[in-house]
Amino acid sequence: MRHTCASVLAVVAFAGLLSSPANTAPMTADHVDGSGREQASPVDTGGPRPQAKYKGLTSGEWLAVWWQAVFATSIEGGSHPLIDGGAFGGNNRTVFLAGPVLPAGSPKVTTRVTIPPGTYLVVPIITVECSVAEAPPFHGEDEAQLRACANGLLDLVSDPYAEIDGTPVQDPGAYRVESPLFRYGPLTTTNVLGLPPGTQSDAVGAGYVLLLPPFTVGVHRISVRANVAAFGLATDAEFIINVEPPREW
């Protein structure tokens, strides 16, 4: 786990799964209103299913797309989803959520997000990557080394936990996935890895990843937690999701 811009766990993006790079889209991080939408129907926590597919991609493949999108996002005003949490988006009604990995004992990070109905969510509890471009302990020369590196780092994570609308996700360890070999970049000028602009690299990621089907209209809460005692890090994040009603024309 690396310390980048406030001791975040830096991880990696994916560039080769799709025929073209995933486009990031701005998401509004609004305060949830008090209009009584707290009565939204709770999500069915009998799912999500481990290794579920959405648009033909597995959770591991979506993890790679997630990192492609997060590394296509520049640091702006010191803010980035990996630094202070946030939402960022791909195409086709798919929104990615990120909770920062910070020094253990840091206050819980709460992120408020407004999304349209029918939106899928890709939510890593925690994730890590290794690439050719990075220095040890995040370095590997080929796919075998990269895969061993990423999984070895993830082995240091303990107590992964997720809760949706107040109900714990059963057996969060079942949501452990690894990505295919992928290529990230070219990185932006103010990329979160601090690598030279234009850098591209092969990489492999691993993590605990939830792929959530669309929520009902109203307000929902997702909480994620995990510890990385070997590095003195942890993640403790809550996402307050406001699903807006369909627009009336």
Domain assignment present for 25: no
Q: Is the pLDDT of residue 12 over 50?
A: no
Residue 159 lies in a domain: yes
pLDDT of residue 104: 97
| 26 vs 70: which has the higher pLDDT | 70
Any domain includes 20: no
Given a cut of 60, whether residue 6 has pLDDT beyond it is no
Helix, coil or strand: residue 128: strand
124/206 Cα distance (integer angstroms): 10
Mean pLDDT, all residues of the chain: 81
Quick one: pLDDT at residue 37? 33
pLDDT digits (tens, 9 = 90+) for 135-176: 999 999 999 999 999 999 999 999 999 999 999 999 999 999
- Could you tell me how far CA 186 lies from the centroid of its own chain? 20
pLDDT at 33 over 70: no
pLDDT of 247: 77
Residue in 160, 126, 127, 163 with CA at minimum distance from that of residue 241: 163
| pLDDT of amino acid 177 | 95
**CA pair distance 173, 146, nearest whole angstrom:** 21
Residue 23 pLDDT more than 80?
no
pLDDT band at 65 (very low <50, low <70, confident <90, very high): confident
pLDDT number for residue 51: 60
Looking at residue 49, its pLDDT comes to 64
Please check whether residue 225 lies inside any domain of the structure.
yes
Residue 57, pLDDT > 50, answer yes
**Would the pLDDT of 10 be above 60?**
no
Q: Is residue 8 part of a domain?
A: no
Out of 50-54, 78-82, 118-122, 149-153, least confident range: 50-54
Is 82 part of any domain? yes
Tally the C-alpha atoms within 13 A of residue 189's C-alpha that lie toward its C-beta. 1
Q: In this structure, is residue 249 part of a structural domain? A: no
- The answer to the question of residue 22 being in a domain is no
What is the domain range of residue 194?
37-243
For residue 39, the Cα-to-chain-centroid distance in whole angstroms is 27
- Name residue 10's amino acid: A
pLDDT at 69: 85
Q: Please give the tally of structural domains in the chain.
A: 1
Nearest to 123 by CA among 157, 99, 159, 92: 99
